Homo-oligomer: A and B are copies of this chain.
Amino acid sequence: MRHFTSINDVGDVHDLVKRAITNKSDPPQQLAQQLFVALIFFNPSLRTRLSSEKACHLLGLTPYVLNAGQSWPIEFGEGAVMDGDKSEHIKEAGKVISQYADLIAIRAFPLLKDRDEDYDEPVIKGFMANTSSPVINLESATRHPLQGFADMITIEENKRREKPKVVLTWAPHPKALPQSVANSFAAWSLAMEYDVVITHPEGYELDPALTYGATIEYDPVKAYENADFVYAKNWSSYRSYGQILSQDSGFRVNREKFSVTNNAYFMHCLPVRRNVVVDDEIIDSQQSLVIQQANNRTFAMLTVLEQILRHMNI
């Protein structure tokens, strides 16, 4: 694996998930000495930061945590006359970071204003075009592949039949959120060849290119029928880009809807708004996998790092 920016960078998804599960029970030796990983956060992070730092240390890599937020306004425009607020061009930023870091991992959320711009992934692509170091996506404008990977590890660890029924359900939320987690969950669970159903109010359809092969069901009760896993997540509209079209509490995950499932497990990437996205009695139940998902973030990152180091012949 040269980079890890989306599921398209993965050769065989099944093999990668198996490798992560092996790494979890039997962590690899420290592979590297004096190798540096820049963890660049244009947006704040808890789980991604700690799981990434831990994975680096477990492999003997040295992480730098850069909370780049406001302090590093980067210009991406070709030929820009930089007489405004942007103090550094991606052409320097990318190449400079790769002088200090052997691997570069980046978190950069979408602005949710211009769909074409967000889906073009200018930050990730800008770094990839201007560095010789491998690039790892720590959640970009439209993808969160480390979350998708960790979710697949969690499903594989808990599934009770070869091809489980996996339901991705939209849920209400007071803020307009990106589609990244939903996009990656859909893409990874389809690649794992699960029976994937996506349920949401009309107008919340995700990018059809990413959900091809999934069943779309507007009635959440029908969607939940016989489900093995229910994955809840809010996202803002892809069609009416970035907008909140509904706060329909009928999509909140609750016991009533869970009663038609196959004793389903509950999943969420966290942080979660309790009693808005999901009722306490579901997330506090034995069927909740949210903490296991968080733990598997470490082994997703560790396995990605391992595969990239292997490609670097380290």
Q: Name which residue of chain B comes closest to A172, CB basis.
A: B83
Cα separation A82 to B87 with both chains bound (whole Å): 37
Is A92's CB within 8 Å of the partner chain B? Answer: yes
Please report whether the interface of chain A is mostly helix, strand, loop or mixed according to DSSP: mixed
User: A280: nearest residue on chain B (CB-CB)?
Assistant: B79
Taking residues whose C-beta sits less than 8 angstroms from the other chain, chain A's interface range is: 35 or more
Contact A82 B50 (CB under 8 A): no
* Tally of this chain's copies: 3
Take A44-B71, A62-B57, A88-B270 as given contacts and tell me if A275 and B96 are in contact as well, using a CB distance cutoff of 8 Å: no
The answer to whether A47 and B96 touch across the interface, beta carbons within 8 angstroms, is yes
Task: Please tell me if the beta carbons of A81 and B291 are within 8 angstroms of each other in the complex.
Answer: no
Q: Do residues B91 and A72 form an inter-chain contact, with CB atoms below 8 A?
A: no
A72 to nearest B CB, angstroms?
6
Q: Other CB < 8 Å A-B pairs besides A44-B72, A50-B101, 17 of them? A: A34-B57, A34-B58, A46-B72, A46-B96, A46-B97, A53-B64, A81-B275, A82-B276, A87-B271, A91-B274, A91-B284, A92-B270, A95-B294, A99-B291, A99-B295, A99-B298, A100-B298
Of all A-B residue pairs in the complex, the 5 with the closest CB atoms, nearest first, are A88-B271, A50-B100, A82-B273, A99-B295, A81-B275
| Listed A/B pairs (21) with beta-carbon separation below 8 Å | A34-B57, A34-B58, A36-B54, A38-B50, A44-B71, A44-B72, A50-B66, A50-B101, A53-B100, A79-B280, A82-B275, A82-B276, A87-B271, A87-B273, A88-B272, A89-B272, A89-B274, A92-B271, A95-B294, A99-B291, A99-B295
